[in-house]
Amino acid sequence: MLKVGYIGLGLMGKPIARNILKAGFPLVVHNRSREKVEELVKEGAIPAFSPAEVASQVDVVFTNLPDSPDVEQIVLGENGILQGGKSGLIFVDNSTIKPGMARHIGKLLQDKGILALDAPVSGGDIGAINGTLTIMVGGPVEAVNLVLPIFKVIGKTITHIGECGTGQIAKAANQIMVAAQMVAMGELMIFAQKAGADPVKVIEAIRGGAAQCWTLDVKPPRLFSGNRQPGFKASMQSKDLNIIIETAKEYGIPLPSCAIDNQLYQSMLQNNMGDLDNSAIISVLETLSNEKFRTQSVGS
């Protein structure tokens, strides 16, 4: 059985690592905050104190980190994966980073005989906990085939997009749609309430038609109950939108709707709401419309 390393035990990384451990894979873990490491050690994981130490012990090493510079540092920096990994190691990045950075890292690792997969995920903390994530994979097919047994533990939909970097392109495309859905959901809920209809009943009605989507299936009950705590932080949604806008500039791609969504999420950050859920974009729309969204029990 493959020995696995996991670096980055945040909101998504910790439940993903836990599912790998529960499936019986020997697991070595590292995280900046040692409390999360110790939590998984009590469940059977092996602790490590640097990315190089993880990479030197395993067949496959995963990372799940906030942004491109973080992945670059963990892979290429002092005591990083490149330093500790040997030829034959497979590197899998579950982070969402710039496609160009994924390609850069993949090339440098390949030069040392390490196969690299960019494998960002979608599905939020619920998907990470339940092992039902969508995984978008870029990189060599031989590495995908070797890692597939692990992917099947953490995800329900696994798609090999193409060469290195294409997994990140797919995730960027995913985040264009996610941001649009979150903003549209906030708009329709405020619209329904201020125009005089019950938002609960409006959601119930439109979920059965052409507007049906994951966002309307999952997020409204949280907002109706007043829960705006993160399943996926608004700050991370904003970071992903910045990646999209910057990558679009590289290729000369106009994204007018995405640019507006990016500004709305920037407004959340400027108002100290970055740690709230990405669905809490409704807070910005409340201010713009001068309409406080009312909490209520679903079905009332």
Active-site amino acid positions: 171
| 3-state secondary structure labels for all residues of the chain | CCCEEEECCCCCHHHHHHHHHHCCCCEEEECCCHHHHHHHHCCCCEECCCHHHHHHHCCEEEECCCCHHHHHHHHHCCCCHHHHCCCCCEEEECCCCCHHHHHHHHHHHHHCCCEEEECCEECHHHHHHHCCEEEEEECCHHHHHHHHHHHHHHEEEEEEEECCCHHHHHHHHHHHHHHHHHHHHHHHHHHHHHHCCCHHHHHHHHCCCCCCCHHHHHCHHHHHCCCCCCCCEHHHHHHHHHHHHHHHHHHCCCCHHHHHHHHHHHHHHHCCCCCCEHHHHHHHHHHHHCCCCCCCCCCC
Pair 27, 5: CB distance under 8 Å: yes
